[in-house]
Amino acid sequence: MNQLSGRSIAALISLMTVGCGGGDVAGEARDRQPAEAEEASRREALARPPAPVDVVIPQTNPRRGRILFITNGCVICHQVNGVGGTAAPPLDRPASQAKVDPLAFSARMWRGAAAMTALQSIELGYVIALEGQDIADIAAFAASSEERTLLTLQSVPSAMQDWFLDTPYWRSKDWSEYKSRGERIPLEPEAE
């Protein structure tokens, strides 16, 4: 019998492993190297603080916000300066809050989005489409005591005044039932 060198034995084992479906041991080690390097790179990236991201902060225009509040129909459900419907919460901001935070305003809108869009679909027949700038301007209007005083009943078209909703749905206790139904809003709030 011939004696085999160490190198020959390794080559034979490698051939037998590949032939038996075991794969290429050296090739598997090479495949692991990029994966290990990628994992090390990922761990290193996670250890570093994230790079800052530029954020667009819109310039707000409370006058434009007042006009949008009327023309988009927000006034049908929301009051500002005592003008408008009471189906949704009033949007007046306390005089003590001098700064406008459009993101906080948007977050409050988001929390009421299901109810708002359902009411808009029922009352207007469509859902109001607002851009980020529109929301920032409406937030500025709601926060501007000077601009709020310019909203009077006379500044709202009389046909739109007939649409004011005076059932305070936002105080209703059956919003969980409303949310499960998705579209239908109760006609009368539950008695407390």
What length does the chain have?
192
pTM of the predicted structure, to 2 decimals: 0.66
Q: What is the mean pLDDT of the chain?
A: 79
Listing DSSP states for 2-69 in one string gives PPPPHHHHHHHHHHHHHHTT---HHHHHHHHHHHHHHHHHHHHHHHSPPPP-----PPP-HHHHHHHH
Average pLDDT for 59-67 = 96
Give the lowest-confidence range in 1-10, 38-47, 95-104, 135-144.
1-10
Helix (H) or strand (E) holding 105: helix 102-111
CA of residue 162 relative to chain centroid, distance: 32
Summarised one tens digit per residue, pLDDT across range 91-134 is 887 766 668 888 889 998 998 888 888 888 888 889 999 999 99
